[in-house]
Structure 1
Amino acid sequence: MNSFSDLGRPPLNERSLRRGLLREGGLWTSLDVVAATGSTNSDLVARAAALPEGAVLVAEEQTRARGRLDRRWTAPARSGLFFSVLLRPEVPAHRMGWLPLLTGVAVAAALTRTAGVDTALKWPNDLLLTIDGQERKTAGILAEGAGDGAVVVGVGINVSLSAAELPTPAAGSLALAGALTTDRDPLLRSVLRSVEQWYTDWRAADGDPAASRLQEAYAAGCSTLGREVRAELPGDRSLLGEAVAVDGDGRLVLATEEGVREPVGAGDIVHLRPTGPPAGRPGRSGGE
């Protein structure tokens, strides 16, 4: 089977992507598209010491893609956007937790602008779209340390998957959400330009989420806030409460029945009841 055998899922145009994204003084310094790999995150982490900030690795297919808590992410070849970027943010260590949240804001804003879909962020690293009246996970983010202050941020976005191709009933895709386009080239350009804009502003503000307006944008687009949730924490511990805020360190703050506010910095969040009005869209597109 050659790369053009599935006319509904053409390959990415690497040359066009480079021409549109790599520029002098910009964040992105290299962009490579590979037909298949195990994990773009693993590949970039292994090569981080030899690469400058701004390296982008895109795979048409990933065979060992991972999400948080080592969950697997599977999708047919060329059915989505699967990529990782290498960043070296010189910001205080306690603000590094904002990097995956920043990526979520940037991805959501770009997809809203370019694909015309209503997006919602689920703390800390999922992007949800409403399909048939239900919120479905359509994108995920994974940030991993790569040594010497480097961080690799991986993004997986389901673009053209049909209902029969979804890995779980809780998953979704841009196509199933009625996206205006499922052309992956403009979608990837839009997402990477949005990440560049948010990251540049956040880094210029020394990682301050308030000064860069990141904290405000995340709260506006986060569907977890205002909901009763269960936080499944390390050590087989769980915590019930209402998600009331995202604090200055990027942690989710829960108000428990005991009247205590507890910040959660790591763990899995389960939405226990529907929210009220939909979360607002992140306020900056940074896309095409």
Structure 2
Amino acid sequence: MTPRDASDANGSRWSDLDRPPLNTTALRRALVRDGGLWSEVEVVQRTGSTNSDLVARAAAGKGEGVVLVAEEQTTGRGRLDRRWTAPPRSGLFFSVLLRPDEVPVARWGWLPLLTGVAVATGLARSAGVDTALKWPNDLLVTVDGEERKAGGILAERAGEDAVVVGIGVNVSLRAEELPVPQAGSLALAGAVSTDRDPLLRAVLRSLEEWYGRWRDAGGDPAASGLQEAYAAGCATLGRSVRAELPGGRSLVGEAVAVDGDGRLVIATREGVQEPVGAGDVVHLRLT
């Protein structure tokens, strides 16, 4: 066993020197301020799911603006209860607790789309990687000319007045570490930096900015600029897609718009435009 193998076996947080731990003190100093959204930033070495942890804290009365980051998640979840796994310190795995009291509950469905815009914007600024959005909440990068999923977003209601939004982004994953061939990472997409501290700061500042705009507009996606920004960054629009819908039904057509409720509008060959609010969307290759 090599010294590096030995340190891995001992669980040292410094076992992979290419993946240093996050600097909690510096993150708090940069993000927690009077009048700002972020009230608390906590980094844990390992947990099952940051979303599950924050949902429990929300139920116990925690206020808005808590950020919980994990260096490693053992039972991370994506949409449709899919597992999200990655080596320790290879990405950004975190959740935020929001209480958008000023926004009608009917508009809360925009939160995962808002988060997608914020994450893509923050990563473009800090990593220099063009990150596209796949409806409703996947983050796409280009690796060797192919579209790959490098991250995802999961929003969960936490009681009557709170939402927990979880974000996972593959930062330094190497090709041999990818869970599936269709996955990617910022490093594989040619990021100018894989230093997770500035990446996380940029993403959270961008999320604070977009959340503030949306909340100040009463959740109106048009007035806040969110609907236009999402459409501009959405790789699904203009594509041929297949939507796997609840109940086993599928819908094939062209994704033509995201409506005011955040639903994907699909135009079928029969000339019908059908809005899809929930489902698994597949980008179809042109033949």
SS in 2 for 1:97: helix
SS in 2 for 1:197: helix
TM-score normalised over the length of structure 1: 0.94
Q: Residues of 1 paired with 2:248 and 2:89: CA distance?
A: 37
Q: In structure 2, what is the equivalent of residue 39 of structure 1?
A: 49
2:3 corresponds in structure 1 to none
- Distance between the aligned counterparts of 2:170 and 2:129, measured in 1? 13
Cα RMSD for the two superposed structures? 1.0
* Cα deviation 1:163-218 (Å, max 9, x = unaligned): 00011001000000010000000000000000000000100000000000000000
Measured in 2, the distance between the counterparts of 1:200 and 1:187 equals 20
- 1:239 is matched with which residue? 251
> Could you tell me which residue of structure 2 aligns to residue 22 of structure 1?
32
2:72 alignment partner in structure 1 = 61
Whole-angstrom CA distance in 1 between matches of 2:94 and 2:162:
17
The residue number in structure 2 matching 1:206 is 218
Aligned to 1:80: 91
Q: How does 1:148-163 map to 2 (within 5 A)?
A: 148-163=160-175
Identify the residue that residue 219 of structure 1 maps to in structure 2: 231
Corresponding residue SS for 2:191: coil
Q: Cα offset for 1:96? A: 1.1
Give the aligned residue type for 1:30: E
Write the letter of the residue equivalent to 2:230. Answer: Y
Q: Distance in 1 between matches of 2:46 and 2:155?
A: 21
The letter of the residue matching 1:21 is L
- Partners of 2:96 and 2:138 in 1: CA distance: 17
Partner of residue 22, structure 2: 12
What secondary structure, in the 3-state scheme, does the structure 2 residue paired with 1:84 have? strand
Q: Which runs of 5+ in 2 are unaligned?
A: 1-9
Residue 130 of structure 2, aligned match among 112, 118, 142: 118
Percent same amino acid among aligned pairs? 76
Q: C-alpha displacement at 1:93, in angstroms?
A: 2.0
Q: CA deviation at 1:5?
A: 2.4
- C-alpha distance in structure 2 between counterparts of 1:10 and 1:262, whole Å: 47
Q: Identify the residue that residue 7 of structure 2 maps to in structure 1.
A: none
Q: Secondary structure at the match of 1:101?
A: helix
How far has the Cα of 1:4 moved from its partner?
1.7
Flag the structure with larger Rg: 2
1:220-266 Cα distance to aligned partner (Å, 9 max, x none): 00000000100000011100110000000000000011111100000
**What is the CA-CA distance between 1:148 and the residue it aligns to?**
2.2
The answer to which structure, 1 or 2, has the higher relative contact order (CA under 8 A, 6+ apart) is 1
Letter in 2 for 1:172: G
Structure-2 residue corresponding to 1:131:
143
Which deviations, in whole Å up to 9, do the C-alpha atoms of 1:64-102 show, x marking residues without a partner?
A: 000000000000000000000000112112211110000
Distance 1:104 1:64 in 2: 22
Q: Distance in 2 between matches of 1:147 and 1:94?
A: 15
Q: Specify the alignment match of 1:196 in structure 2.
A: 208
Moved segments of 4+, more than 3 Å: none
Tell me the residue number matched to 2:62: 51
Separation in 1, partners of 2:194, 2:75: 24
Amino acid at match of 1:31: V
Partners in 2 of 1:227 and 1:161 — Cα distance? 28
> Structure 1 stretch 172-181 or stretch 47-56: which is displaced more?
47-56
